[in-house]
């Protein structure tokens, strides 16, 4: 359901909009194939191991499920959404039994592979006002408060997730971007949002590159060690009484008043409520297949730099940043002074098949060229590690959290579109309230039970994605 309109669709959102238009055109000539496609191209459940820099800090794996269970709530997926949801479920409904089933180790997916930026707002409203600015302000306050909640939860568990809230920066590439950002900042500040417009010299002084014309600065944003945040949420969920089983793949779900989940080892889990916390992998379980476009992202990290080297590079403030182009790049600093960079050309693999080594090498080379463009002094510095993974983009970059199923007992969060590090834990909280029948206060927000734009099946999906890239 579209409840309002957006004023501007920059960067990658423009690519996705073009993909949607191209997909619609393709569907007009291939509607029949679109209907039977899921039976022709069945999506395999291939879960690649997390080979990211962050994975070095993955919490120890729990034992796998070795028995049949009957529980109140079964959560599939041990990432930010699933772990936060398990925590909040136990806080809201301590009398209910909650189990988390993770196919590999917690944080194996996007939660443990991302670019580490912690952003306010939802992706569709970041630097964009809708037709209801007062609602935009409430969403800003809600997401800023959630970042503060994560900091408190980190303290409560005694696990340092390296959450830094020194702000986040979107650097601007063109005069049009500067004009749009100036108009946005003026209106946002009139509503009480403490955002700023930085000129080119201030951006250069902060992050050491002079290639940008300016920047949009949000003091409530920041950065985090993603896998250490996974550790925080896992500990919080277990401390609250949730049971977490890892190395436990759910192969099928039989829906009903009581769901029946079957694992790869033949065990059965019966649950009154089901939570789908599987991000871009959700369609592989037979749910929300036409809601998101799984895009493959690539990230790489350098060796550690000394304080002196960072000063010579010119990166003086610990502020992560992303640019405003279609080929979005995003960068940040780890606490041991490594530079990590991700993004580049959007890539969609036919039927979500694994990326081959040649494609991966091409994308990593693109990241190397961009890093050298931004920081010429780093042109000879090789990456120490690189990795990839899926993120779930909706066609207009709006997210969706809600309830589905014939018996209204299937809950989900999806479509984070690059804002999932912060938004996913907030959605875990919303899911817990919806499951407990306490969802009314959340219904004011447009992302609750939002009907996302339709994404066609293969091969129209692949055709639309390629057309969107070509038109961008």
Residues 1-38: tens digit of each pLDDT: 333 334 444 555 555 555 554 455 455 445 666 666 66
Q: Which residue has the higher pLDDT, 390 or 106?
A: 106
CA angle 154–158–161, rounded 5-degree value: 45
ω before 459 within 30° of 0 (cis)?
yes
Per-residue HEC secondary structure of 418-469 comes to CCHHHHHHHHHHHHHHHHCCCCHHHHHCCCECCCCCCCCCCCHHHHHHHHHH
CA angle 285–288–289, rounded 5-degree value: 75
Instruction: Answer yes or no: are the C-beta atoms of 292 and 110 closer than 8 Å.
Output: no
Cα–Cα distance between 450 and 447 in angstroms, integer?
A: 5
Residue 153 has pLDDT above 50, yes or no: yes
Distances (CA, A) of 402 to 23, 106, 159, 417, 451: 26, 23, 30, 17, 10
Average pLDDT rounded to a whole number, residues 177-196: 98
* pLDDT at site 5: 38
DSSP 103: S
Q: Residue 174: CA atoms inside 13 Å, Cβ hemisphere, count?
A: 8
* pLDDT at site 39: 60
Cα–Cα distance between 67 and 64 in angstroms, integer?
A: 9
From 224, 187, 217, select the one nearest 202 (Cα to Cα).
217
Burial level of 157, CB count in 10 A (0-12/13-18/19+)?
middle
Helix axes 80-92, 226-239, angle to 10 degrees: 30
* pLDDT at site 431: 98
* pLDDT at site 42: 63
Distance from first CA to last CA of the chain, Å, rounded? 27
Instruction: Answer yes or no: are the C-beta atoms of 246 and 102 closer than 8 Å.
Output: yes
Q: Which has the minimum average pLDDT: 87-101, 207-221, 226-240, 345-359?
A: 345-359
- The alpha-carbon radius of gyration of the chain (Å, integer) is 21
pLDDT by residue (tens digit) across 63-90? 999 999 999 999 999 999 999 999 999 9
CA angle 424–430–436, rounded 5-degree value: 140
Instruction: Answer yes or no: are the C-beta atoms of 403 and 440 closer than 8 Å.
Output: no
From 223, 237, 128, select the one nearest 421 (Cα to Cα).
223
Token look-up 């679109």 returns: 34
pLDDT by residue (tens digit) across 413-422? 999 999 999 9
pLDDT mean across residues, the chain: 90
- Return phi, psi of residue 118, to 5°: -115, 110
- Give pairs for 379-385: CB < 8 Å, separation 24+: 381/302, 381/303, 382/302, 383/300, 383/301, 383/302, 384/53, 384/301, 384/302, 384/303, 384/338, 385/51, 385/52, 385/53, 385/300, 385/301
Q: Which has the minimum average pLDDT: 57-66, 132-141, 318-327, 369-378?
A: 318-327
Instruction: Answer yes or no: are the C-beta atoms of 219 and 167 closer than 8 Å.
Output: yes
Average pLDDT rounded to a whole number, residues 44-70: 92
pLDDT by residue (tens digit) across 352-368? 676 677 888 999 999 99
Q: How confident is the model at residue 470 (pLDDT cuts 50, 70, 90)?
A: low
User: Which residues neighbour 411 within 8 Å (Cβ) at sequence distance 6 or greater?
Assistant: 85, 273, 274, 275, 276, 402, 403, 404, 431, 434, 435
Element holding 85 (H helix, E strand): helix 80-92
* pLDDT at site 126: 96
* pLDDT at site 28: 45
Task: Provide the CA 391 distance to its chain's centre, in angstroms.
Answer: 6
Question: Hey, is 403 helix, strand or coil?
Answer: strand
Q: How confident is the model at residue 227 (pLDDT cuts 50, 70, 90)?
A: very high
From 410, 281, 415, select the one nearest 352 (Cα to Cα).
281
Average pLDDT rounded to a whole number, residues 306-322: 97
Token look-up 């499951």 returns: 435
Residue 46 has pLDDT above 60, yes or no: yes
Residue 44 has pLDDT above 70, yes or no: no
Cα–Cα distance between 249 and 243 in angstroms, integer?
A: 15
Cα–Cα distance between 360 and 45 in angstroms, integer?
A: 20
DSSP 194: -
- Return phi, psi of residue 401, to 5°: -130, 135
* pLDDT at site 363: 94
Residue 108 has pLDDT above 50, yes or no: yes
- Tokens for 17? 């909009």
């Amino acid at each position: 359901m579209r409840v309002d309109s957006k004023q501007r669709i920059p960067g990658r959102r423009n690519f996705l909009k073009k993909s949607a238009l191209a997909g619609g055109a393709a569907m007009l000539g291939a509607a029949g194939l679109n209907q039977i496609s899921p039976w022709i191209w069945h999506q395999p459940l291939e879960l690649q191991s997390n080979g990211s820099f962050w994975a070095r800090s993955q919490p120890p794996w729990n034992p796998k499920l070795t028995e049949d269970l009957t529980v109140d709530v079964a959560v599939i997926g041990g990432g930010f959404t699933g772990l936060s949801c398990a925590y909040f479920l136990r806080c809201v409904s301590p009398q209910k039994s909650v189990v988390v089933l993770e196919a590999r180790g917690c944080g194996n997916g996007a939660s443990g592979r991302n670019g580490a930026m912690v952003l306010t707002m939802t992706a569709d409203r970041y630097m964009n006002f809708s037709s209801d600015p007062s609602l935009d302000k409430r969403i800003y306050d809600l997401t800023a408060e959630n970042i503060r909640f994560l900091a408190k939860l980190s303290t409560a568990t005694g696990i340092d997730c390296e959450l830094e809230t020194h702000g986040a920066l979107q650097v601007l590439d063109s005069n049009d971007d500067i004009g749009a950002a100036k108009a946005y900042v003026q209106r946002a500040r009139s509503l009480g949002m403490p955002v700023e417009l930085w000129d080119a010299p201030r951006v250069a002084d902060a992050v050491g590159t002079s290639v940008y014309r300016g920047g949009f600065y949000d003091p409530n944003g920041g950065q985090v060690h993603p896998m250490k945040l996974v550790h925080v949420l896992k500990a919080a969920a277990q401390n609250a009484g949730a049971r977490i089983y890892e190395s436990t793949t759910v192969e099928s779900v039989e829906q009903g008043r009581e769901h029946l989940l079957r694992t790869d080892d033949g065990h059965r889990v019966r649950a009154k409520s089901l939570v789908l916390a599987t991000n871009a992998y959700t369609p592989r379980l037979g749910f929300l297949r036409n809601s998101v476009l799984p895009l493959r992202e690539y990230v790489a990290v350098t060796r550690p730099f000394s304080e002196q080297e960072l000063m010579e590079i010119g990166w003086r403030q610990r502020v992560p940043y992303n640019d405003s182009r279609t080929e979005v790049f995003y960068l940040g600093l780890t606490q041991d002074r490594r530079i990590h960079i991700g993004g580049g050309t959007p890539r969609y693999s036919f039927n979500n098949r694994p990326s081959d080594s040649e494609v991966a090498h091409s994308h990593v080379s693109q990241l190397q060229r961009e890093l050298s463009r931004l920081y010429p002094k780093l042109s000879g510095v090789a990456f120490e590690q690189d990795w990839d993974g899926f993120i779930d983009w909706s066609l207009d970059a709006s997210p969706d959290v809600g309830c589905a199923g014939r018996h209204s007992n299937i809950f989900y969060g999806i479509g984070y579109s690059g804002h999932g590090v912060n938004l996913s834990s907030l959605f875990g909280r919303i899911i817990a309230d919806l499951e407990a029948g306490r969802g009314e206060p959340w219904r004011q927000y447009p992302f609750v039970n939002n009907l996302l734009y339709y994404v066609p099946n293969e091969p129209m999906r692949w055709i639309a994605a390629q057309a969107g890239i070509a038109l961008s």
